[in-house]
Amino acid sequence: MRKRIEFIVFMIKSFSINKLAFPIIILLTVMVAGCKKNSNIELAKLPLTNIHKDPIFKEFIINTQNQYNSVRDFSVLKTNMADGKISKAEADLLPSLYGYNNREEFLAAFIHLSNIKSYLLNKYDFKGSSYDDKKEAILKTFEQINELKSFQTAYQAPLKASSNSIVSTFIVDDCEKIRRNCILSVAAEATIMHLGCAALDVTILLGIACHSAATLYQYTAGENCNLEASKCK
């Protein structure tokens, strides 16, 4: 681009402003404009149709859900998020709260998820997809991941810390089926929220606050799933 502009300046200086110079200048100006226009063209993004088959998206789902299951005390997280933001002092407590050994491990995991998210948002057309399409794609991904042993610790019932994973629990009755579907739906909604935090990830504290809000939503809404299931019978 710079070479083309320098060439135009050279041509303008080389020709006197006469009848021949004007069409040359116009032609070169159009060339630069066309070059600038082409540089702004974005590559077409993929629809979400087959995202459930993407191993990178599966990795993102597994990491976010395993992180959810690693939270040691949701009541503390709820207290920290009471005002809708996280102070530096509260942020210093998060590594331990999320089950990490130190701040470095916590930030490394945060940055890793942020990088995966950026890759996915650049590859797939999340912005042009409806909320229902996003949720359906995530639920399909859950179905794919449920077959992996590494995912068998996910979706623990929030009200019962000792309850088994719904992935490894047999469906006993319709009430359990309703509970399981409700928790899966909530997890999918939380995943959409995590994806929506991408714009805030550039500022660490705001990004962490956004993801913590999504995690807290999954817990709170998951509690409601279990509560309604307990009233089912």
Q: Residue 149: is it exposed, middle or buried by C-beta count within 10 angstroms (0-12/13-18/19+)?
A: exposed
Listed residue (86, 83, 115) closest to 98, CA to CA: 86
Domain ranges for the chain, please list them.
2-39, 48-230
Listed residue (116, 101, 98) closest to 208, CA to CA: 98
Asked whether residue 180 carries a pLDDT value surpassing 80, the answer given is: yes
Residue-wise pLDDT tens digits, 209-230: 999 999 999 999 999 998 888 8
Q: What is the DSSP letter of 118?
A: H
Q: Report the alpha-carbon distance of residue 167 to residue 158 in Å, rounded.
A: 14
Report the amino acid identity of residue 55: P
Q: Report the alpha-carbon distance of residue 62 to residue 47 in Å, rounded.
A: 21
Residue-wise pLDDT tens digits, 95-128: 999 999 999 999 999 999 999 999 999 999 999 9
